[in-house]
Structure 1
Amino acid sequence: MMFSDQVWLLAGILALAGCFSGFLAGLLGVGGGIVVVPALFHVLGAFDVPLDLRMHIAIGTSLGSIIPTSIISLRAHNKRKAVDWPLLKEWAPWVAVGVVIGSVLASMARGATLTAIFAVMALIIACYLAFARSDYHISKSLPRTPLRQIICMAIGGFSAMMGIGGGSFTVPTLTLCSYPIRRAVGTASAIGLIIAVPGAVSFVVTGWGMAGLPTASLGYVNLLAVAALVPSSLIFAPLGAKVAHTVSGGILRKFFALFLLATSLRMFYSLA
């Protein structure tokens, strides 16, 4: 268990991480989980939380923090009629199935395994952002069944295992199939909520009663970290969105690709 002074230090560090994740979320249109998970992972390591617990806590807490931010994002996109509700109703059950599968697999996996999965997927996303053309499409329409259901379950499963809201997978998937980018981002915000709620609940249940958890933890979801992350993230997201309108989109994609590359390499290094 952490001492009270360590707890407040942790809260301050995570509030700064929330500022950064919120700013990047607004700047680049991706969920903050891709930033929050590695930040939590390294902060928990500084407090000597064991590796096998560290990644589970980082993922569970990230999913918990995504719930309120996804609700606010969904309401904002819905006001602009950017959410494809028919598509969401079709995708939601299969994404949820993927989340359950991913959460179960994550609960059984070692912390090092989850760290490796995050590092590999972050590297893949970085390569996509760095090299993929924004106008490139592999199909003129979304895939048919059963491939569509498989893709939905993969999005839910990998997102749950990484502690992210799914935007990093959903938006590229939709846009590669000639789907309008604004509708893709808006619909992804709703999918983030579908991923975060069952995912967070699963990490609460599977981590319940586990020895060595930090103060104020419900299973693998640390409430103190959620309370520190969410307000600062919500405050800085509009600032990131404002900056996004003044900077070239290509430059922003390359910047975030470099950030993800550095994050991936640092996660791989922690496994050495």
Structure 2
Amino acid sequence: MFGISPMELAWLAAALLAGGAVTGLLAGVFGVGGGAVAVPVLYELFRILGVPDEVRMPLCVGTSLAIIIPTSIRSFRTHQAKGAVDMTILRVWAIPVVVGVAMGSFVARYAPADLFKLVFVLVAGVAAIRLLFGKDTWRFGTEMPSKAIMTIYGWVIGVLSALMGIGGGMLSNMFMTFYNRPIHQAVATSSGLGILISIPGALGYIYAGWPRAAEFPTVAALQPPFAIGYISLLGFLLFIPTSVWMAPIGARLAHRLSKRRLELAFGIFLLLISARFAFSLLG
């Protein structure tokens, strides 16, 4: 099947289930949808399956956005139950984030493969540096900015998240801490942002990938029942059970970690992911 043995497929399935567990755990701990984990895991899977590089990355991003939907919902509910979510920020960001996601999904239909990797490297790298080496004095302000500026930030978060296959937590965490919000509140609020991003993002990648996937025989072979547009149903179905199971565990763990430990853990994680895609760009 796809040129690999049943044993290799079994190992790939096990890797996806394990990746789903890690995705769910990190979604809860860091308030992210888990895309920063899902995208590199899926990238290796599709590389083994022989998916062409031209469409491999958008297929990873689209599948990641679909995976984020249930993970973000469960993570958000856990954080909300603890009263840590700032609903005022989510209401302001709702429309501009969705508009940004729609625009990012449209770009995905025509963008070269390296654009997705480059966005991932730059955003994850900047966020990692901020978390690992930033100081409390690094601030844009002590209060959240005006609604107009918040709208622009929301739009940018939506566009970049759609191109990276993430739930926006990486970006919104960085933004909120720059405006003096506690990391725990930033993490909790970001979990709600994942819902606003993942649903329209997944729909956008179905639209973006359906006609283009047919141009590549290996990808066309993955079309229904194995994929819809740029969303792999195999990856989605195997990630979901363990990621949904682990998300609330991660959310509870986040509230037990100190501010600095949470920042260091997230920063190291983002740095490793950034390095991985930087290496693939050079290759």
C-alpha separation between the residues in 1 aligned to 2:201 and 2:273?
23
Q: More displaced, 261-270 or 246-255?
A: 246-255
What is the match of residue 239 of structure 2? 229
Q: Which amino acid aligns with 2:230?
A: Y
C-alpha separation between the residues in 1 aligned to 2:41 and 2:16?
8
Structure 2 portions without partners, runs of 5+: none
TM-score norm. by structure 1 comes to 0.89
What is the match of residue 152 of structure 1? 154
What is the match of residue 35 of structure 1? 37
Q: More displaced, 209-218 or 1-10?
A: 1-10
Per-residue deviation at 1:250? Answer: 2.8
Distance 1:271 1:12, change over 3 A: same
Distance 1:192 1:128, change over 3 A: same
Aligned counterpart for 1:200 among listed residues 196, 199, 202: 202
Per-residue deviation at 1:233? Answer: 1.6
What is the match of residue 91 of structure 2? 89
C-alpha separation between the residues in 1 aligned to 2:80 and 2:265?
29
Task: Give the match's secondary structure for 1:159.
Answer: helix
C-alpha separation between the residues in 2 aligned to 1:180 and 1:242?
17
TM-score norm. by structure 2 comes to 0.86
Per-residue deviation at 1:58? Answer: 0.6
Distance 1:85 1:25, change over 3 A: closer
What is the match of residue 65 of structure 2? 63
Distance 1:241 1:189, change over 3 A: closer
Distance 1:260 1:188, change over 3 A: closer
Per-residue deviation at 1:145? Answer: 4.3
What is the match of residue 267 of structure 1? 277
C-alpha separation between the residues in 2 aligned to 1:79 and 1:239?
13
2:54 is the alignment partner of 1:52: yes
Per-residue deviation at 1:70? Answer: 1.3
Structure 1 portions without partners, runs of 5+: none
C-alpha separation between the residues in 2 aligned to 1:93 and 1:180?
24
Q: More displaced, 133-142 or 163-172?
A: 133-142
Q: More displaced, 109-118 or 141-150?
A: 141-150
Distance 1:84 1:246, change over 3 A: closer
- 1:42-93 CA distance string (max 9 Å, x none): 2211222111111011100000001111111222223233333333222100
Percent of aligned pairs with the same amino acid: 38
Distance 1:111 1:23, change over 3 A: same
Distance 1:94 1:242, change over 3 A: closer
Task: Give the match's secondary structure for 2:109.
Answer: helix
- Number of residue equivalences: 272
Per-residue deviation at 1:180? Answer: 4.3
C-alpha separation between the residues in 2 aligned to 1:87 and 1:130?
25
Per-residue deviation at 1:197? Answer: 0.6
C-alpha separation between the residues in 2 aligned to 1:79 and 1:254?
26
2:2 is the alignment partner of 1:2: yes
Distance 1:231 1:117, change over 3 A: same
Per-residue deviation at 1:222? Answer: 0.8
C-alpha separation between the residues in 2 aligned to 1:184 and 1:80?
13
Q: Which amino acid aligns with 1:33?
A: G
Per-residue deviation at 1:133? Answer: 3.2
Distance 1:80 1:255, change over 3 A: closer
What is the match of residue 191 of structure 1? 193
C-alpha separation between the residues in 1 aligned to 2:68 and 2:247?
13
Distance 1:98 1:16, change over 3 A: same
Q: Is the 8 A contact 1:101 1:157 kept in 2?
A: yes
Q: Which amino acid aligns with 1:191?
A: L
C-alpha separation between the residues in 1 aligned to 2:181 and 2:250?
24
